[in-house]
Amino acid sequence: MQRKREREQQQLYLIEGAHVVQEALKQAKPQYLLATQAYATADWLQDWQADLIWISDEVAHALAETVTNQGIFAAMPLPAQVQPDTLTGSWLLLDRVQDPGNIGTMVRTADAAGLTGVVLGTGSVDQFSPKLIRSMQGSQFHIQVFSGALSEWIAKFKAIGTPVYGSELNPQAVSFREIQPAHNFALIMGNEGQGMSDTLLQQTDQNLFIPMQGAAESLNVAIAAGVLLFQLQAVDKD
């Protein structure tokens, strides 16, 4: 299940680690669970005995993509690619972002900022790749994650009056500090090296930039997303 083609043939993807497996089991029934004897007395596994296959430490080591592993894995059914129930709320759209670590960090950040969902545009990393699954650390079970053509998503957001913001390294663009926080928006972040595509930049309502005071040439894309999301997302008073 390390490759996209195999995942699609089997209609399964693999997650690993006790915390993320527990998050996954709150959402869906696994095809099967794999665990080492270290989990023989784990309370939270008691409900899943029928789905559980015991494995040796050697098998766990071979299954894991990382040097260290926690000895527990779940093969989860690949969800049918569905449409979101609602497009209201705030969304992060990723245009050809390449690094699974950056994408996972942005999904976690979107989760922490209270967003509704994240859309991985065509040309981004596959949503179920093991590296991305690991990097999202379970946040994909807290907020909605979709894949699709961003121009179609942009059109849908505009149709319901949700402002769509692009981001670019262009001091002629609008400073992010000028945008009033809101509960409805879509923000697009672009590729690590090239930024957003020109085509998408022309489809947005406004394009934002983060003024840089120092001599730095750019911010890491996930840092920029964090700065923008915590500015754009309206915070409800307690």
Q: Which residues bind a copy of itself (CB under 8 A)?
A: 105, 108-115, 139, 142-143, 177, 210-216, 218-220, 222-224, 226-227, 230-231, 233, 235
What's the closest the beta carbon of residue 138 comes to a copy of itself, in angstroms? 8
**Is the CB of 36 or the CB of 135 nearer to a copy of itself?**
135
Smallest distance from a copy of itself to CB 137, Å: 8
Q: Which is nearer to a copy of itself, 12 or 221 (CB)?
A: 221
CB distance 106 to 94 below 8 Å? yes
Using the minimum distance from each CB to a copy of itself, give the nearer residue, 98 or 231.
Answer: 231
222 token code pair: 């996930």
Distance (Å, whole) CA 22 – CA 35: 13
Considering beta carbons, is residue 190 or 197 the nearer one to a copy of itself?
190
Whether 101 and 135 have beta carbons less than 8 Å apart is answered as yes
Other C-beta atoms closer than 10 Å to the C-beta of 107 total 29
Instruction: Compare residues 200 and 224 and give the one whose CB is closer to a copy of itself.
Output: 224
Distance of closest approach, residue 195 Cβ to a copy of itself, in angstroms: 15
Supply the minimum distance, in Å, between the C-beta of residue 181 and a copy of itself. Answer: 10
CB of 222 to a copy of itself, least distance (A): 6
User: Residues 38, 73: contact at Cβ < 8 Å?
Assistant: no
User: Measured from the CB atom, is 5 or 26 closer to a copy of itself?
Assistant: 26
Residues 6+ apart with CB under 8 A from 16: 63, 64, 65, 66, 69, 70, 72, 73, 74, 134
CA distances for 111 relative to 54, 124, 145, 223, 226, angstroms: 33, 19, 11, 15, 11
